[in-house]
Amino acid sequence: MLTYTELQGDRRRLLALTGLTPSEFGLLLDSFARSYERRYPPDRTSAGRPRQRRAGGGRKGALHGPGQKLLFLLVYLKTYPLQAVMAELFGLSQPGVNYWLHRLLPVLRDALDDLGTLPERDPRAFGRDRPPRARGPRLIIDGTERRRQRPKNPEKQAAHYSGRKKAHSDKNVVVVEAGSKRVGYLSGTYVGRAPDKGIAEHEGLAYPPGTVLHKDSGFQGYEPAGTQTRQAKKKGGRPRADRG
């Protein structure tokens, strides 16, 4: 069984399983613990009723303590295994895994919001609310794709079929700051068949003035107003510079 006590001193394994170094995990853990107590006060039961005995009494669960809860959630989000696999890794039943995922995901969102690390979701606010700079920012736009279970409905099956390796997927477009590698914008979720350029155009994303936008061939022809775009050529060719 995976435990935070065992992994917190093992940088290589923690990074591989969660995507975070021990120091990054610790920073998030502090905010996560505060968010958990705020959302689920210790003097209340899981149903929201006043407790009849003090918090912490009774049998200790498999996800005892905020460190174990955060480890459980990040392993799931990083590796996306079947819930049956998560049950084996953390000593839970499959329904228990489902329960904890739904309970903990809002807590993680609150924690990331408190830390100011959530990406912008409003395409207009992304360009409007950023602090002014002497030079425009260097940004990278790309499409992300994650596999999902094949829908039973034939129409949904066709829409979510990505066309590669018989995979059904959901897609998002992200905009990343080139220097900090921070995800500054996350689009809505689209079906796997949707093209990257089509998603970006549908979002109507507004960029800060003077933006230099790096893109790949999936965004060929995407030239948003007020930006200079850079598209790398394949086989080691020079980057291509376009003007929006």
Render each residue's pLDDT in the chain as its tens digit; 244 residues. 899 999 998 999 999 999 999 999 999 999 999 999 999 988 777 677 787 766 655 566 689 899 999 999 999 999 989 999 999 999 999 999 999 999 999 999 999 999 988 999 999 888 876 666 657 789 999 999 888 878 888 888 888 877 766 788 889 999 999 988 889 999 999 988 889 999 999 999 999 888 999 999 999 999 998 899 999 876 655 555 554 4
CB 186 within 8 A of CB 174: yes
**What is the SS3 assignment for 155?**
helix
Closest to 194 measured CA to CA, from 224, 215, 218, 225 = 218
User: Tokens at residue 164, please?
Assistant: 């590669």
Backbone dihedral angles phi then psi of residue 25, each to the nearest 5 degrees:
-60, -45
Vertex 145 angle, CA 141 and 149, to 5° = 160
Backbone dihedral angles phi then psi of residue 159, each to the nearest 5 degrees:
-70, -40
Can you tell me the distance from the alpha carbon of 120 to that of 167, in angstroms, rounded to the nearest whole number?
28
| Residue 195: Cβ-neighbour burial (10 angstroms; 0-12, 13-18, 19+) | middle
Q: Where are the beta strands (DSSP E) in the chain?
A: 138-147, 169-177, 183-186, 190-191, 211-215, 227-231, 240-243
List the domain boundaries for the chain.
4-114, 123-243
Taking only the tens place, the pLDDT of each residue in 89-105 is 999 999 999 999 999 99
Using CA atoms of 101, 107, 109, 114 in order, give the dihedral in degrees to the nearest 10: -160
User: Tokens at residue 181, please?
Assistant: 């590698």
